[in-house]
Amino acid sequence: MPVGWLCWHCLAQRRQQPRRRDVLLRFFHALFAGMEGVGLNGHECAVLLDWLTQEPGLANSKPWTADPLENTLVRLRTSAADGNPATWLSAQTAHTIIAVLQEAPASPSTTSRDGETLEALVQHLAEWETNPAGVRRAQYGTGWRYRQRVLELTALSERGGPFHLFQCRVNRSG
């Protein structure tokens, strides 16, 4: 559904001066849409690289040990330095990064909104996997329609929640 307008933050600033939660929103939207990966620009790569390397103990976390991120760090570093317009991370790498960030201790660089968004993202991923609401897959399939229905049945999707899922009316008169 086309969106009638975008605020300056969503249109440009979020991509040129991203915050940690903006990177999390990119992960959420790509995974929600069922994309094969998550595309980040050079600015977003720099934010994610900083987040993943700020706490040296993260490399010893269970998710990182199970699916090492060293090559991903090299790609993020290169993309940030070169200002690449798009760097793709696989969906599996995105899931690993989210699991690693979930284990990261709180730091001064991480705001409460970042933590809230990360928790909500982790919860949505778990809900899409386990289907606790009992959404009938035969009715909604396994793609974005299924994930959208699961979102409708969770309190996290209410107006003002971590993902700010506002409804936008499109003016079709003319």
pLDDT in tens, 87-122: 999 999 999 999 999 988 777 778 888 888 898 889
Q: Considering only 53-62, 105-114, 119-128, which range has the smallest mean pLDDT?
A: 105-114
Q: Is pLDDT above 70 for 156?
A: no
d(CA 126, CA 30): 16
| DSSP conformation letters of 77-98 | HHHHHHT-S-EEEEHHHHHHHH
Q: Note the pLDDT of residue 167.
A: 40
Report pLDDT digits (tens) over 137-154: 888 877 878 888 877 776
Phi–psi pair at 138, nearest 5 degrees: -65, -30
Q: Note the pLDDT of residue 166.
A: 41
- Where along the chain do its domains lie? 23-157
Q: Considering only 46-55, 56-65, 151-160, which range has the smallest mean pLDDT?
A: 151-160
Q: Note the pLDDT of residue 85.
A: 92
pTM of the predicted protein model: 0.77
Contact 120, 162 (CB under 8 A): yes
Q: Note the pLDDT of residue 172.
A: 41
Q: Is pLDDT above 80 for 135?
A: yes
Of 89 and 155, the structure prediction assigns the larger pLDDT to 89
Residue 88, beta-bridge partner list = 39
Report pLDDT digits (tens) over 6-49: 555 555 667 777 889 889 988 988 888 888 899 999 999 999 99
Give the closest residue to 55 by CA, choosing from 20, 101, 99, 86.
101
Angle (deg, nearest 10), helices 20-32 and 42-54 = 110
Residue 38, beta-bridge partner list = 89
pLDDT category at 3 given cuts 50, 70, 90 is: very low
Q: Note the pLDDT of residue 173.
A: 45
pLDDT category at 127 given cuts 50, 70, 90 is: confident
